[in-house]
């Protein structure tokens, strides 16, 4: 029935949790109709989630509990590399006055792990834990550029090349061209592939045994990320920070 040997009740419960995450505090019936599930089933799931402390019930308005934040922070703290990366993200944000982030690949998608706004950084709805198609983000491209071909193909097969803007990469040839150029110059460029008007550069963070830990990136508006700043100043800062981070990780 389901994929294979997986537990349907758990899949449903996470669908309910995700529904609560996107639709905010909401009542039982809205969930049931939104997910096309019987009310009694949703009710039982919510009772269970509430009993476990993962959902709050404010007079029939169900919402996600902060226990998810607890687990999320534990997930973020699971590797010391992520903590070291947070410091470098802070430095980059301070020195460039733009937004800086550290991103990893998880299940074939790019996930923001740390993010910091510099003094002039533009607002954007990126937050830790947010996922984007890996081929659209600068850090994602940087990560992919160090993956073996078969692993890249597997990700493309699984997720396709979904566009987030008209300038997103959408065909495999362009992707591999961009990855090749990324390898050559050591950093990637995302030109308005995630958000229009926003440009970013990214660099892969290599750990021990030549594995990719994740990617550091700097992003800002196209009118500031251009010319000599785009070609020299920011890449130099980014690659410097990446290099320092790699040393931190090796000799922590």
CB of 209 to its own copies, least distance (A): 13
Is 38 an interacting residue with respect to DNA (CB under 7 A)? yes
Task: Please tell me the count of residues contacting its own copies according to CB under 8 A.
Answer: 51
Site for DNA in 47-106 (CB under 7 A): 57, 60
CB of 56 to DNA, least distance (A): 12
Secondary structure element (H or E) that encloses residue 54, with its range: none
Cβ atoms 130, 111 nearer than 8 A: yes
Is 146 an interacting residue with respect to its own copies (CB under 8 A)? no
Cβ atoms 221, 231 nearer than 8 A: no
DSSP states along 199-211: EEEEEEEE-GGG-
**How far is residue 119's CA from residue 100's CA, in Å, rounded to a whole number?**
11
**How far is residue 228's CA from residue 192's CA, in Å, rounded to a whole number?**
18
Is 39 an interacting residue with respect to its own copies (CB under 8 A)? no
Is 24 an interacting residue with respect to its own copies (CB under 8 A)? yes
Query: Residue 158: CB partners within 8 Å, gap ≥ 6?
Result: 108
Residues of the shown chain interacting with DNA in the complex, contacts defined by CB under 7 A: 1-2, 5-9, 12, 27-30, 37-41, 43-46, 57, 60
Residues of the shown chain interacting with its own copies in the complex, contacts defined by CB under 8 A: 3, 5-7, 9-11, 13-14, 17-18, 21-22, 24-25, 44-45, 47-49, 51-54, 56, 63-78, 104, 106-107, 111, 113, 127-131
């Amino acid at each position: 029935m389901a994929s294979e040997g997986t537990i349907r009740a758990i899949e449903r419960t996470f669908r309910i949790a995700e529904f609560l995450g996107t639709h905010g505090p909401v009542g039982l019936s809205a969930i049931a109709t939104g997910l096309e599930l019987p009310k009694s089933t949703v009710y039982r799931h919510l009772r269970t989630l509430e009993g476990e402390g993962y959902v709050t019930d404010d007079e029939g308005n169900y919402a996600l509990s902060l226990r998810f934040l607890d687990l999320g922070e534990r997930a973020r703290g699971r590797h010391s590399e992520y903590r070291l990366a947070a410091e470098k993200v802070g430095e980059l944000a301070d020195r460039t006055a733009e937004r800086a982030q550290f991103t990893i690949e998880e299940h074939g998608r790019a996930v923001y792990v740390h993010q910091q706004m510099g003094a002039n950084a533009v607002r954007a709805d990126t937050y830790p834990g947010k996922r984007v198609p890996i081929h659209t983000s600068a850090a994602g491209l940087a990560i992919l550029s160090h993956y073996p071909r078969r692993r890249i193909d597997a990700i493309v097969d699984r997720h396709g090349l979904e566009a987030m803007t008209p300038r997103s990469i959408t065909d495999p040839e362009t992707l591999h061209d961009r990855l090749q150029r990324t390898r050559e110059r050591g950093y990637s460029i995302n030109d308005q592939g995630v958000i229009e008007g926003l440009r970013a550069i990214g660099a892969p963070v290599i750990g021990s045994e030549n594995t990719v830990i994740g990617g550091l990136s700097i992003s800002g508006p196209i009118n500031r990320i251009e010319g000599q700043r785009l070609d020299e100043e920011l890449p130099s800062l980014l690659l410097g920070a990446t290099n320092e981070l790699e040393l931190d990780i090796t000799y922590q």
